[in-house]
Amino acid sequence: MKINVMTDILEANDRIATANSEAFKENGNLVLNLISSPGSGKTSLLEKTGDALKGKLRLGVIAGDIETMRDSERLQKHKIPAVQLTTGSACHLDANMVASALPHVDLKKTDVLVIENVGNLVCPAEFKVGEDHKIVILSVTEGDEKPLKYPLVFRESSLLLINKIDLLKYTNFNLKEAKANARRVHPDLEIIDVSCVTGEGMDEWIAWLNRQYQKKFGTKPRA
Amino acid sequence: MKINVMTDILEANDRIATANSEAFKENGNLVLNLISSPGSGKTSLLEKTGDALKGKLRLGVIAGDIETMRDSERLQKHKIPAVQLTTGSACHLDANMVASALPHVDLKKTDVLVIENVGNLVCPAEFKVGEDHKIVILSVTEGDEKPLKYPLVFRESSLLLINKIDLLKYTNFNLKEAKANARRVHPDLEIIDVSCVTGEGMDEWIAWLNRQYQKKFGTKPRA
What is the domain-level CATH number for residue B139?
3.40.50.300
**Which residues of A are less than 8 Å from B67 in CB distance?**
148-151
Domain annotation covers residue A28 = yes
Instruction: Pick the more confident residue, B131 or B3.
Output: B131
Does residue A221 have a pLDDT over 80?
Answer: no
Closest chain A residue to B166 measured between Cα atoms? Answer: A170
Domain annotation covers residue A59 = yes
pLDDT of amino acid A7:
78
Q: What whole-number distance in Å separates Cα of residue B43 and Cα of residue B35?
A: 11
| B2 confidence band (pLDDT: 50, 70, 90) | low
Decide if A89 touches B, using CB distance below 8 A. yes
**Which residues of A are less than 8 Å from B39 in CB distance?**
37, 139, 141-143, 146
Q: What is the mean pLDDT of residues A142-168?
A: 97
pLDDT of amino acid B153:
98
Q: What is the enclosing helix (H) or strand (E) of A113? A: strand A112-116
pLDDT of amino acid A10:
86
Decide if A168 touches B, using CB distance below 8 A. no
Q: Are A40 and A138 in contact (CB under 8 A)?
A: yes
pLDDT above 90 coverage of chain B, percent: 91
pLDDT of amino acid B10:
86
pLDDT of amino acid B221:
52
Q: What whole-number distance in Å separates Cα of residue B61 and Cα of residue B75?
A: 8
| B8 confidence band (pLDDT: 50, 70, 90) | confident
Q: What is the mean pLDDT of residues B211-220?
A: 91
Q: Select from A91, A126, A141 the Cβ nearest to the Cβ of B139.
A: A141
Q: Select from B67, B68, B145 the Cβ nearest to the Cβ of A70.
A: B145
Q: What whole-number distance in Å separates Cα of residue A32 and Cα of residue B19?
A: 45
Q: Are B100 and B125 in contact (CB under 8 A)?
A: no
Domain annotation covers residue A222 = no
pLDDT of amino acid A9:
83
Q: Do B119 and A39 touch (CB under 8 A)?
A: no
User: How many structural domains is chain B composed of?
Assistant: 1
Does residue B4 have a pLDDT over 90?
Answer: no
pLDDT, chain B, mean: 95
pLDDT of amino acid A222:
53
Å from A62 to nearest chain B CA? 16
Q: What is the mean pLDDT of residues A65-94?
A: 94
Domain annotation covers residue B223 = no
| A1 confidence band (pLDDT: 50, 70, 90) | low
Q: What is the mean pLDDT of residues B24-32?
A: 98
Task: Report DSSP letters for B27-86, one per residue.
Answer: TT-EEEEEEESTTSSHHHHHHHHHHHHTTSSPEEEEEEESS-SHHHHHHHHTT--EEEEE
Does residue B3 have a pLDDT over 90?
Answer: no
Domain annotation covers residue A223 = no
Helices of type H across chain B: 5-26, 42-53, 70-77, 95-101, 146-149, 151-156, 175-185, 202-217
Does residue B1 have a pLDDT over 80?
Answer: no
Does residue A193 have a pLDDT over 80?
Answer: yes
Q: What is the mean pLDDT of residues A162-173?
A: 97
Q: What is the mean pLDDT of residues A60-82?
A: 95
pLDDT of amino acid B89:
84
Domain annotation covers residue A146 = yes
Does residue A189 have a pLDDT over 80?
Answer: yes
Q: In chain B, how long is the greatest CA-to-CA distance?
A: 58
Domain annotation covers residue B222 = no
pLDDT digits (tens, 9 = 90+) for B152-210: 999 999 999 999 999 999 999 999 999 999 999 999 999 999 999 999 999 999 999 99
Residues 6+ apart with CB under 8 A from B72: B61, B63, B82, B83, B84
Q: What whole-number distance in Å separates Cα of residue A5 and Cα of residue B9?
A: 13
Q: Are A42 and A143 in contact (CB under 8 A)?
A: no
Q: What whole-number distance in Å separates Cα of residue B92 and Cα of residue A198?
A: 35
Provide the domain limits for residue B122.
Answer: 5-217
Does residue A104 have a pLDDT over 70?
Answer: yes
pLDDT digits (tens, 9 = 90+) for A118-153: 999 999 999 999 999 999 999 999 999 999 999 999
| B66 confidence band (pLDDT: 50, 70, 90) | very high
pLDDT, chain A, mean: 95
Does residue B75 have a pLDDT over 60?
Answer: yes
Rg (CA), chain B: 17
Q: Do A91 and B148 touch (CB under 8 A)?
A: no
